[in-house]
Amino acid sequence: MGSLRSLAAGLAAVLLSTLLVLHTLALAQTALPLAEDPVLEERVKRISNDLRCLVCQNETIAVSSADLAVDLRRQVREQLRAGRSDDEIRAYMVARYGEFVLYRPPFKPTTVLLWLGPFALLLGGGALLYYLLRQRAAARPPLPEAERDRARALLKDGSP
């Protein structure tokens, strides 16, 4: 009786462990595409992070779940696998969707204002502030000698 019970327990343990192994195998199968080439996935992620999803414009195609973003991520992955460079893939996207897809627009004549505008504003504002403060300081008449003496006496005295 006791041996029968232990046999049943043993069988159950074997069955359970088999199931567990099968289960982890199944999990490993679904995770395979990612684990297959972590370096490639890292590059896909880096490039996708710089590309705007045109369907939901404030998201990159790396985080967007829009259908088009999924397709474009696959596109990036396939092109990397085919040996294309990062720049070639970016050029591919720009040729189709325009420079708006780039989260880091290139520095060129039409984007000078975009890149340098904030610094120009900062410099202009600083210059204006400097000029106004100097003008104000120059416009203020110096304190007459008599009032200066009174102020000095008051400060020294310490009591009104």
Partner 1 sequence: MKRYLIPLALFLVLAGFLAVGLQRDPRLVPSPLIGKPVPVFSAPRLDQPQTVVTPAELRGQVWVLNVWASWCVPCRIEHPLWVDFAKTQKVALVGLNYKDKRDDALAWLQRYGDPYRLSLADNGGQIGIDWGVYGVPETFIVDREGVIRHKHIGPVTPEAMRDDILPMLRKLGA
Q: Could you give the CA distance from residue 86 to residue 78 in angstroms, rounded to a whole number?
A: 12
For 98, the 3-state DSSP assignment is: coil
Within a 10 A sphere around the Cβ of 43, how many other Cβ atoms?
16
CB of 68 to partner 1, least distance (A): 6
- Per rule CB under 8 A, is residue 32 in the interface with partner 1? no
Return the bridge partners of 102, or none. Answer: 51
Q: Which long-range contacts (CB under 8 A, 24 or more apart) does 91-100 make?
A: 93/51, 97/54, 100/52, 100/54
Chain-centroid distance, C-alpha 31: 26
* Binder of partner 1 out of 48, 64, 75, 79 (CB under 8 A): 75
- Amino acid identity, position 116: L
CB of 124 to partner 1, least distance (A): 13
Q: Applying CB under 8 A, what is the total number of residues that bind partner 1?
A: 15
- Per rule CB under 8 A, is residue 55 in the interface with partner 1? yes
CB of 54 to partner 1, least distance (A): 4
> What binding mask, one character per residue, do residues 79-118 give for partner 1 by CB under 8 A, x or -?
---------------xxxxxxx------------------
Query: Residues interacting with partner 1, by CB under 8 A?
Result: 54-55, 57, 67-68, 71-72, 75, 94-100
